[in-house]
Structure 1
Amino acid sequence: MANPTPESIVEVVGASVANKGMLAGGAVGLYGWLSQVNWIGISGVGIAVLGLLINVYFQARRDRREAEAIAADARRADAESAARIKALMDRCGI
């Protein structure tokens, strides 16, 4: 991608932050569990869940964008095929 759009930059940054948030939240949750300090464990789990939700959101957007790209490619291929068939029919005089 030579010239990334602002949307794609936001999605890449958002997914990266979500992944790091899940890792940090899991680490804090584990630390809280091992040290038996409840509020640290609960906040770590909360951060991990928030990171997971953000990650799911950005993955769904990526899946939707990829599905739209596949559909656009299929439409382009269908139009190209129809144009070739028409050109061959015109060439044959049908």
Structure 2
Amino acid sequence: MSENAAQAAEATAAAIASKATYTGGAAGLAGFLTQTDWLGLLGVGIALTGLIISFYFSYQRNQREKEEHEIRMRQLRDQCNVKE
């Protein structure tokens, strides 16, 4: 899979995870307010799953941006003949 396609898939998954977190939180709140235990637990489970997925994709994005930064810095140092 090309890098652009991978980034697009990652952005889509992160957006879905974010929406799942909000939906799960809302379902958990609704279950709490209506005192429906299973709905509250389901909502909390969905919210936690969405949160974990969001953290995972944020970590991957951070690692990728860090690598890109290091490559750019190496290129700039080579252009300027700067020694580390």
Query: What TM-score, normalized by structure 2, do the two folds share?
Result: 0.91
Shift of 1:81: 1.1
Q: Does 2:56 correspond to 1:52?
A: no
* Residue 22 (structure 1) aligns with: 21
Superposition pairs for residues 1-94 of structure 1, below 5 Å? 5-82=4-81
Work out the CA distance in 2 between the residues paired with 1:66 and 1:6: 16
For 2:17, give the aligned amino acid: A
Aligned amino acid, residue 10 of structure 1:
A
Identity rate, percent: 36
The 2-side partners of 1:67 and 1:77 are apart by 15
Measured in 1, the distance between the counterparts of 2:69 and 2:75 equals 10
Distance 2:4 2:75 in 1: 23
Structure 1 gap segments, 5+ residues each: 84-94
Q: Could you say what the CA RMSD is over the residues aligned between the two structures, in angstroms?
A: 1.3
3-state SS in 1 of match to 2:15: helix
TM-score normalised by L of structure 1: 0.82
Aligned length: 80
| Structure ID, larger Rg | 1
Deviating runs (4+, > 6 A) in structure 1?
Answer: none
Unaligned stretches of 5+ residues in structure 2: none
